[in-house]
Amino acid sequence: MERPVKLGSAGILLLVTAQLLMGCAAQNMTFVHPGVDFGHIRRCAILPFMNQSSDDLADERMRSIFLTEILDDGTLEIVGTGETLAAIRSLQLMTDVTLTPEEIQRLGSALSVDAFFFGVIEEYGLSRTDRASGYEVTAVFGMTETQTGTVVWRTQVHVNGSSMWTKLFGGGTLSLFDVSRKAVRKGLETLF
């Protein structure tokens, strides 16, 4: 006959801490196209991000952080924002809808790029469900290659500004900038 295991207060605290860690971790779901050789992608542009959040500037803020993180990585050559926007206007493309594969091919040819990064900001700001948890960001980041207009990478991330320590002991949460940067980095980790 087995005897039940008794947990002391330290064991219970350890168990609760482990459960909180699992619940507070940044979450993401990722798709990577199995037939794509990312080694051939060298020159890219970043499309304007789409904004589904209640913050009117969330797309621009997140795109700026995304651009900085990509440039900091140094792996890819990135076409300037002004050049990208000028080509979009020249081809009379809509930036508030997903581009068709044919539009991606035309824009890719105009900019001489191998791929485009895109983003959709779904949530941005104070948590709607738990204001005590602070800021949260939910975003989709992806890459479309320009030869066929096929999505070759897509990830959805959700990050909030609270930590297990904040939930257990109180204190401050991460700033909206820090949560945004953490979401971008978490997304890019699935690509690089």
Please report the domains of the chain, with CATH numbers, ordered by start residue.
Answer: 26-189 (3.40.50.10610)
Tell how strand 115-126 and strand 77-78 pair up. Answer: unpaired
Q: Tell me how far apart the alpha carbons of residues 169 and 55 are, in angstroms, rounded to a whole number.
A: 30
Collapsed DSSP state (helix, strand, coil) of residue 49? coil
Q: What is the pLDDT of residue 116?
A: 97
Q: What is the pLDDT of residue 96?
A: 82
Q: What is the pLDDT of residue 169?
A: 53
Q: Tell me how far apart the alpha carbons of residues 59 and 56 are, in angstroms, rounded to a whole number.
A: 8
Q: What is the pLDDT of residue 192?
A: 77
Q: What is the pLDDT of residue 29?
A: 86
Q: What is the pLDDT of residue 13?
A: 39
Per-residue pLDDT of the chain (192 residues; tens, 9 = 90+): 555 445 444 443 333 443 433 344 445 689 999 988 888 999 999 999 999 999 999 999 999 999 999 999 999 999 999 999 999 999 999 988 889 999 999 999 999 999 999 999 999 998 877 656 689 999 999 999 999 999 999 999 999 886 554 555 555 678 999 999 999 999 999 987
Nearest to 138 by CA among 153, 155, 151: 155
What Rg, from alpha-carbon coordinates, does the chain have?
20
Q: What is the pLDDT of residue 173?
A: 77
Q: Tell me how far apart the alpha carbons of residues 71 and 87 are, in angstroms, rounded to a whole number.
A: 21
**CA distance readout (Å), 144 to 39, 95, 187:** 14, 15, 15
Tell how strand 115-126 and strand 135-145 pair up. Answer: antiparallel
Q: What is the pLDDT of residue 60?
A: 97
The answer to whether the beta carbons of residues 114 and 144 sit under 8 Å apart is: no
51: burial class by Cβ within 10 Å (0-12, 13-18, 19+)?
buried
Q: What is the pLDDT of residue 131?
A: 58
Q: Tell me how far apart the alpha carbons of residues 67 and 157 are, in angstroms, rounded to a whole number.
A: 17
Q: What is the pLDDT of residue 52?
A: 96
